[in-house]
Structure 1
Amino acid sequence: MASSLDTVFSALADPTRRAILTMLLEDDMAVSDVADPFEMSLAAISKHLMILTKAGLISQEKRGRVKWCKLEPDALRAASVWMQGFGQFEPIHLDAFERFLEVELTDTPPAGDTA
């Protein structure tokens, strides 16, 4: 599973690939339509699409002369489950932590404390 997570996160690391995934949320698209909004060659877009395909994030199929791309949302499930594991921790309240450290690290007791 770690290897597939590495592949998914590596594919998601590039902003162009994330933009492609966002575009494919709407509907399946021809490769040429995927390439239109980007200022790069069709060959460069094809490399991005191949990385997304290898990660299982999209699938590609040929329909006549046109190659179509389709989002595979289930491929993000393992990554989502992994990330949700971090949601169980409560965020640290930095102000309270700072006050705690201030009290612990000073020699004088805090105001109102007569110990």
Structure 2
Amino acid sequence: MGASKIIDYSEEQILVSKYMKALSHPARMAILQLLLTKQSCICGEIVDELPISQSTVSQHLKELKEAGLIRGQIDGVSICYCINEPEWNKLTDALGHFFEKRHLKTSTCC
């Protein structure tokens, strides 16, 4: 999104779209579900759990990190990943507010 156009959207809209983009691939959803299930930092196990190559997993981890949803810590020669709790809470709040708006009005459309 061009810098000049971003001012036309609310902070909430930008935040929700950032999270939705990060959540928009099944592999990223699988990675997040794995991290949420394990509730601890995971290194090489992510690749073992998914039906995709290590390089593809790395690309999806990068997207999740850029969105702030996960953190990575160097542990020897590998990187351990876990949920970034403060950002996860922002995601939960932002999406909750987004979906709540649907229930504020009853639709008379179609």
- Please, what TM-score do these two structures have when normalized by structure 1? 0.68
Distance 1:15 1:34 in 2: 14
Change (3 A) 1:90 1:12: same
Q: Which runs of 5+ in 2 are unaligned?
A: 1-10
Distance 2:24 2:71 in 1: 19
User: Secondary structure of the residue that 2:72 maps to in structure 1?
Assistant: strand
Verify the 8 A CA contact 1:60 1:69 in the aligned structure 2.
yes
Counterpart among 74, 77, 84 of residue 100 in structure 2 = 84
What's the counterpart of residue 62 of structure 2? 50
**Count of aligned pairs between the two proteins:** 94
Displacement of 1:39 in angstroms is: 2.0
What's the counterpart of residue 111 of structure 1? none
What's the counterpart of residue 35 of structure 2? 24
User: Secondary structure of the residue that 1:62 maps to in structure 2?
Assistant: strand
Counterpart among 35, 56, 69 of residue 47 in structure 2 = 35
- Please, what TM-score do these two structures have when normalized by structure 2? 0.71
Deviates more, 1:14-23 or 1:65-74: 65-74
State the 4+ residue runs in structure 1 displaced beyond 4 angstroms: none
Is 1:71 equivalent to 2:86 in the alignment?
Answer: no
Displacement of 1:79 in angstroms is: 2.5
Q: Which runs of 5+ in 1 are unaligned?
A: 98-115
What's the counterpart of residue 9 of structure 1? 20
Change (3 A) 1:75 1:67: farther
Larger Rg: 1
Deviates more, 1:44-53 or 1:63-72: 63-72
Displacement of 1:68 in angstroms is: 0.9
